[in-house]
Chain A
Amino acid sequence: MKEFLEGSRAVAEIVKMCKPGVISAYPITPQTHIVEELAQMVANGELNAQFVNVESEHSAASVVLGGVAAGVRSFTATSSQGLFYMAEVLFNISGMRLPLVMTCANRAISAPINIWNDQQDSLSLRDSGWVQLYAENIQEAVDLHLIGYRLSEDKSMMLPVMVCMDGFILTHGMEAVDMPKQEEVDKFLPAYKPLYKLDTAEPISMGLLADPDYYIETRFAMQETFKDALKLIPTINEEFKNCFNRDYKDGLVEEYYTKDAEKVIVAMGSVCGTIKEVVDAQRAKGKKIGLLKVISYRPFPYARVYDALKDVPRVAVLDKAVSLGAYAPLAIEIKAAFSGKKKSPKVISSFVAGLGGRDITAESVKEILTKLTQKEINLEFIDLKPELLKEEYGE
């Protein structure tokens, strides 16, 4: 049934339907309404879960680690500095092969202090062994939580999933969302059955010391699993379509008018909506523009990206994050997808926009298209204020 919901509320509703038994959070900025709503649901008796308020994000991640290790489906949400404070535990969760879903409300990183949206937080944790899926709108954010739990808990996976949704733009935005029924969710997502669990009756140890004789194999195994995930994500999306009648195709990327395109922009998250508007307007004028939306950043679907862009002459990658001193995080992957390949775009230009909540408008997108010429750009910031740069250099 379609409802008019705030993004955070919609995510809380779907998490409730996934019936987690343990939810943990540290209630301070930058937390989200998601856990606030879930705390209310638990207090009201609508959700039979333990809500554990803790003293830090490090502990919040540790509590859900413990929850899953004890065999209970768990959930937490975070953002920005909170995610960074969790970082150590995030590597433990993936290294211990514990299935978990966490929402990251994408926000900028200090310093300077900034509470607004970009994708620097999750992209900085790309190497943590978590699957990262990016939502374009609130509906996708909701659906990715369902897909995320299925993927995470699949016995061939046993890896955590981070659902990334743009802070404020999606978490605080309100739009019509088609919320599934509980029985539909129950059918798609059966109760979690762990392979192993912490149990005092049958004690086991998890996350032990692995000396040089053992450690590297754990990372090899995870790398192999991420390869398998590239096949599993399309399978789960197919099943999702059959259950909920929403089609995300392979669930790895979305191709929007890429087939005959002369210029394609590659991006992730809510900005893809703005780009689609520009694509439609340009197409109406006869200009062959397209969008490649990357949904799965980890695992990164190199083969799909290659197929989608191999015949496109010019590609612009729009990043909402930086990897200072190198190409931007999404641009790095897009370039890597064509390394040593027979076919390739003639130009793959890299642009950074929207850092710290700087608004990305249709004009920003058009500027990128204008700058996507025969000359490759590596990389250029869009929508800079020249007057501020002058001050910085003390001219």
Chain B
Amino acid sequence: MKEIRIHARAGQGAITTATLLGYAYFLKGMYPYAFPNFGAARMGAPMNAFVRVDTKPVRLRSQIYEPDYILVMDPTLMRGFNCFSGLKEDGIAIINDKEGADAPKVKTKQKVFVVPATDIAMKAIGRPLGNTALIGAFAAATGQLDLDTLLEVIKKRFKGKAQEGNIEAVKQGYEYIKRR
């Protein structure tokens, strides 16, 4: 079983991110359970979305406290809130932040990747929605999903220009990590 915790503000696409990741696992023949936890249920309020995935149907319905992977969609969430709480000893975190931003210090075996997902999205999609670049980075950083599966998911989820832009964003997020 693998557990992913997504940190975002309401409106930044955390649920879409969980959906896309869940769908990609589903296409691989796994059993994902993707679900949100709303905070104040208002735009901008901190919220979480989660993906729990296993080779058999997931029955555990609680939130995720000891994730294998963390996605932070908005670096300002890390001011005053410990997004890394419970991250596994060998866990991986992927943070959307500006190119060259300092990565937070973590334990020896843990890994942190900073990806300029919003910048990638602005160029590829024209809107500050970094989630697709971030899942590209997730695939490259964790090896959990391959690029082709993600692209298949994007093609099913988006049409027309949004599809083109998001395909580009996923690829750039993926390659950004691979180039490191």
Contact = CB atoms under 8 A, between A and B. Distances in A.
Interface of A: 4, 6, 115-116, 137, 166, 168-169, 172-176, 270-271, 273-274, 276-277, 359-362, 364
Interface of B: 15, 18-19, 22-23, 26, 31-38, 41, 57-63, 65
29 contacts: A4-B23, A115-B38, A137-B57, A168-B35, A168-B36, A168-B37, A168-B38, A169-B35, A172-B15, A172-B36, A173-B34, A174-B32, A174-B34, A175-B33, A176-B31, A176-B57, A270-B61, A273-B59, A273-B60, A273-B61, A276-B59, A277-B60, A359-B63, A360-B62, A361-B62, A361-B63, A361-B65, A362-B60, A364-B62
Name the residue in A4, A270, A361, A364 with the highest tally of chain B Cβ atoms < 10 Å from its Cβ. Answer: A4
Contacts, number: 64
Contacts of B36: 168, 172
Contact of A175 (B32, B38, B63, B65): B32
A137 B58 CA distance: 10
A34 to B, nearest CB: 16
B35 A359 contact: no
Nearest to B18: A174
Contacts of B65: 361
A116 B41 CA distance: 10
B60 A4 contact: no
A4 B62 contact: no
Given A115-B38, A115-B41, A361-B65, A174 B60 contact: no
A270 B63 CA distance: 13
Closest 3 CB pairs of A and B: A273-B59, A173-B35, A4-B26
A173 B36 CA distance: 7
Given A277-B60, A359-B63, A172 B31 contact: no
A382 B79 CA distance: 31
A4 B38 contact: no
